């Protein structure tokens, strides 16, 4: 039996940890957003467009 890989991706955790609202919640997070805006990033935060919408009530 081998050990599991360390990265087990989960969409809900990804959005909750690195999402837009979480970034805007702290001053350092707002600095990250503004820095990415200054650099002209097309994508400011993680947006999982490759999956269905997450039903947060479930």
Mean pLDDT, each 10-residue run in order, the chain (58 residues)? 87 89 96 97 83 73
For the chain, domain boundaries: 10-46
The answer regarding whether domain 10-46 maps to CATH 1.10.287.3980 reads: yes
For residues 32 and 25, the answer to whether their CB atoms sit within 8 Å is: no
Cα-Cα-Cα-Cα dihedral sign, residues 28, 30, 35, 41: positive
Q: Report pLDDT for 57.
A: 81
Task: Give the DSSP per-residue string, 4-49.
Answer: PPS----HHHHHHHHSHHHHHHSHHHHHHHHHHHHHT-S-SS---T
Q: Report pLDDT for 51.
A: 65
Q: Report pLDDT for 20.
A: 94
């Amino acid at each position: 039996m081998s050990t599991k890989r360390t990265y087990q991706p989960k969409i809900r955790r990804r959005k909750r940890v690195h999402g837009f609202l979480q970034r805007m919640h702290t001053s350092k997070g707002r600095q990250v957003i503004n820095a990415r805006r200054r650099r002209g990033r097309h994508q400011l935060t993680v947006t999982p467009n490759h999956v269905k919408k997450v039903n947060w009530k479930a």
